[in-house]
Amino acid sequence: MTPPDEIRDLREQAVARATRSLVVCPYLTRFRPGEPSAVRTPEARRDEAVGLARAIDLNVVRADLAPLSAIRPATYLGKGKVEAIAAEVKADSIDLIVMDCALSPVQQRNLERSCGCKVIDRTGLILEIFGRRARTAEGALQVELAHLAYQRSRLVRSWTHLERQRGGFGFLGGPGETQIETDRRLIQERMVRIERELENVKRTRGLHRASRGKVPYPIVALVGYTNAGKSTLFNRLTHADVTAADMLFATLDPTMRLIRLPHGGSAILSDTVGFISDLPTMLISAFRATLEEVLAADVILHVRDISHADTEAQGRDVEAILAELGIADHADRVIEVWNKIDRLDEPARALLAAEREKQPKPQLAVSAKTGEGIDRLLAAIEDRLARGRALLDLKLSAADGRGLHWLYEHGEVMSRRDHDGAVYLSVRVAADQIERVRRRFPSAAIAR
Ligand SMILES: Nc1nc2c(ncn2[C@@H]2O[C@H](COP(=O)(O)OP(=O)(O)OP(=O)(O)O)[C@@H](O)[C@H]2O)c(=O)[nH]1
Ligand SMILES: [Mg+2]
């Protein structure tokens, strides 16, 4: 992190900590079948909303549930509830209300008027978090694009300005941030310019990848609900030191590292942004390019916090987002990683084992924290990568240094025996390399 970033972070943190916030979680009391979030309890949703508010250091003074029989077009909440909140705002000197729902611009403005303080909705909050976390030029551009799309959808007086800044959109106010009215045309122009810039960034990155393409490592991608333990697992597998924190959306920008597989092969592991229920669609589309690239991986590890009360709902939310990104057709590439088993006691583990028996999908239970199950996970990754590849048995002269070198470069040497001036190898190669190997080493025979 560069020093100016650090200063900005500290400033934003200080402003946020001084922002007395009220989290309000409206939920419909009528059950709506087919709604994925319906499986969560209102309390669980409230805890998550508080986690989101804390992710940008807001001082959460209270968190209220707001049961509703119907959504009011003007204020979202009913009149009585709005009055009660207005009284709370006064009594507790609240500066900001976080509404854990999607508000229309009119609802937002009306609530602000009635309650006498700023109001943001779930989308606004998530955008703010993403803005804070973006560290790369690409991440910042994608977040800005998403934010502009959000603004365009409202076109009301906004607290943001069109000056480019890394992220912090300044809904909390702060020095140097002016409130200006923006119009559709300005936003549109800015969006077009950002899209062009993103193209450039992508092209440069594409070049990097092209040079990396000479080393044909398979890609293994981590995906999962925010806070599931992706970065912790990334660190465990790569011996790296990526930020892992008990914080929603700790990671935003993709990170890649080489991992070693049990038989000496290598793969590139990528860590990326986590998902959440009701992830704003503008964020999905802004991050689509990055996500799609990550998800073009050979193996996708869907990391789940199996110790979380909402683990099922979280798993389903992630699957829904993957489906939206077109991954559903490639379900055979996905391995579920049931993480945090160290948090389960014996009876819970027994239940989990029984549950795993019933699962049609491949899954492995691990603890990224203690390392339990990690060897099995690596073996499973290796096994999955081996599909579509062949194991060849070869005999080379020990003097054929170049041939040996070529095999180590292009294949995965599973075993080697040196005997009487000859080298016996079992080498795993990609399907499209088999013919090449056979031409070069006519003795090569498919072992399995
Ligand atoms: N007990 C236990 N805690 C874990 C385990 N794996 C991760 N955690 C904790 O869970 C929290 C979230 O971990 P991260 O690795 O940051 O999660 P993430 O999926 O990268 O989260 P985002 O980047 O926010 O999407 C941290 O406090 C970790 O220490 C585990 O196996 N066991
Ligand atoms: Mg992370």
Give DSSP secondary structure letters for 17-77.
HT-EEEEEEEEESS--TT-GGGGS-HHHHHHHHHHHHHHTT-EEEEEEEEEESS-BTTTBS
Rounded CA separation 445/400 (Å): 18
412, 413, 415, 421: CA torsion to nearest 10: 170
Give the 3-state secondary structure of residue 181: coil
pLDDT at 174: 35
Q: With bands split at pLDDT 50, 70 and 90, how would you rate the model's confidence at 48?
A: very high
Of 100-104, 147-151, 387-391, 397-401, the poorest mean pLDDT is in 387-391
Is 130 a pocket residue for ligand 1 (Cβ < 6 Å)? Answer: no
- Say yes or no to pLDDT of 360 above 60: yes
Highest mean pLDDT (candidates 96-100, 120-124, 182-186, 236-240) = 96-100
Question: 0.75 exceeded by the pTM?
Answer: yes
pLDDT at 32: 60
Average pLDDT on 78-106 reads 94
Residue corresponding to tokens 């609530």: 111
∠ at Cα 172 (160, 1), nearest 5°? 85
Backbone angles phi, psi at 275, to 5 degrees: -105, 165
pLDDT at 33: 57
DSSP letter at 333 equals G
CA separation, residue 234 to residues 212, 238, 241, 301, 437 (Å): 21, 6, 9, 11, 34
331 or 103, greater pLDDT? 103
β partners of residue 270: 221, 256
Give the 3-state secondary structure of residue 363: strand
Q: Which atom of ligand 1 is nearest to the CA of 368?
A: 31
pLDDT at 213: 47
Rounded CA separation 124/105 (Å): 11
Is 371 a pocket residue for ligand 1 (Cβ < 6 Å)? Answer: no
pLDDT digits over 151-170, tens only? 877 754 444 333 333 344 44
Average pLDDT on 33-45 reads 70
Beta strands in 137-275 (DSSP E): 219-224, 255-260, 266-271
| Contacts made by residues 196-204, CB under 8 angstroms, sequence distance 24+ | 197/141, 198/138, 198/141, 198/142, 198/145, 198/289, 201/137, 201/138, 201/141, 202/138, 202/289
Rounded CA separation 321/329 (Å): 13
Instruction: Among 129, 231, 342, say which to mutate for ligand 1: greatest number of ligand atoms within 8 Å of CB.
Output: 231
108, 113, 118, 119: CA torsion to nearest 10: -30
Average pLDDT on 271-276 reads 84
pLDDT at 183: 66
Contact status, residue 15 vs residue 21, Cβ threshold 8 Å: no
pLDDT at 81: 95
Nearest to 411 by CA among 296, 212, 299, 264: 264
Rounded CA separation 274/131 (Å): 14
- For 270, the token pair is 């990528």
Residue nearest (by alpha carbon) to ligand 1 atom 21: 227
pLDDT at 362: 80
pLDDT at 329: 63
Backbone angles phi, psi at 172, to 5 degrees: -85, -5
Of 146-150, 277-281, 425-429, the poorest mean pLDDT is in 277-281
User: Could you write out the DSSP letters of every residue in 254-282?
Assistant: -EEEEEE-TTS-EEEEEE---B-TT--HH
Find the 234 Cα to ligand 1 centroid distance in Å: 10
| Strand 118-121 to 96-99 pairing | parallel
Contact status, residue 431 vs residue 388, Cβ threshold 8 Å: yes
Q: Which atom of ligand 1 is nearest to the CA of 251?
A: 23
199 or 229, greater pLDDT? 229
| Residues sharing a CB contact under 8 Å with residue 410, sequence separation 6 or more, in sequence order | 429, 433, 436, 437
Average pLDDT on 317-346 reads 86
Contact status, residue 263 vs residue 375, Cβ threshold 8 Å: no
Average pLDDT on 242-256 reads 72
Highest mean pLDDT (candidates 4-13, 139-148, 201-210) = 139-148
- Say yes or no to pLDDT of 107 above 80: yes
* Amino acid (one-letter) located at 354: A
| Residues sharing a CB contact under 8 Å with residue 213, sequence separation 6 or more, in sequence order | none
pLDDT at 2: 55
- Say yes or no to pLDDT of 177 above 60: no
Backbone angles phi, psi at 257, to 5 degrees: -150, 155
Is 222 a pocket residue for ligand 1 (Cβ < 6 Å)? Answer: no
Give the 3-state secondary structure of residue 336: strand
Mean pLDDT of the chain, nearest integer: 82
Is 244 a pocket residue for ligand 1 (Cβ < 6 Å)? Answer: yes
Is 369 a pocket residue for ligand 1 (Cβ < 6 Å)? Answer: yes
Average pLDDT on 39-47 reads 87
Which ligand number lies closest to the CA of residue 307?
A: 1
Counting residues of the chain whose pLDDT is more than 90, the rounded percentage is 34
Q: With bands split at pLDDT 50, 70 and 90, how would you rate the model's confidence at 91?
A: very high
36 or 202, greater pLDDT? 202
Highest mean pLDDT (candidates 84-93, 327-336, 424-433) = 84-93
Is 133 a pocket residue for ligand 1 (Cβ < 6 Å)? Answer: no
Instruction: Among 226, 232, 255, say which to mutate for ligand 1: greatest number of ligand atoms within 8 Å of CB.
Output: 232
The length of the chain is: 448
- Say yes or no to pLDDT of 61 above 60: yes
pLDDT at 330: 66
